[in-house]
Amino acid sequence: MFIVTLLTTPTESTLDAALVDSLRNAWGGGDATWLAIDEAAEFAIPVMPDNRWDVWADLQDACVDLIIQPAENRRKKMLLADMDSTIIRQECIDELAAEAGVGPRVADITAQAMNGELDFEAALKERVGLLKGLDESIIEHVLDTRITHMPGGYELVNTMKAHGAYTVLVSGGFTAFTSRVAAALGFDENRANTLLVENGKLTGAPGLPILGKQAKIDALVEITQARGLAEADVIAVGDGANDLGMLGRAGMGVALHAKPIVQDECDIRINHGDLTALLFLQGYGRDEFVT
Burial of 228 (0-12, 13-18, 19+ CB in 10 A): exposed
Q: Which of 21, 38, 65, 84 is catalytic?
A: 84
Please choose, from the candidates 86, 43, 263, the residue with its C-alpha nearest in 3D space to the C-alpha of residue 181.
Answer: 86
Name the DSSP class of 32. -
Q: Assign 89 to helix, strand or coil.
A: coil
State the Rg of the chain over Cα: 20
Of 257, 281, 279, residue with least CA distance to 269: 257
Residue 190: how many other CB atoms lie within 10 Å? 21
Element spanning 237, H or E: strand 234-238
The DSSP code sequence of 171-202 is EEEEHHHHHHHHHHHT-SEEEEE-EEEETTEE
User: Would residue 119 show up in a list of annotated catalytic residues for this protein?
Assistant: no
Asked if residue 134 lies in contact with residue 100, where contact means CB atoms within 8 angstroms, the answer is yes
Separation between Cα atoms, residue 255 and residue 206, nearest integer Å: 27
- Asked if 188 is an active-site residue, the reply is no
Q: Are 190 and 169 in contact (CB under 8 A)?
A: yes
The catalytically annotated residue of 65, 82, 94, 274 is: 82
Q: What amino acid positions are annotated as catalytic residues?
A: 82, 84
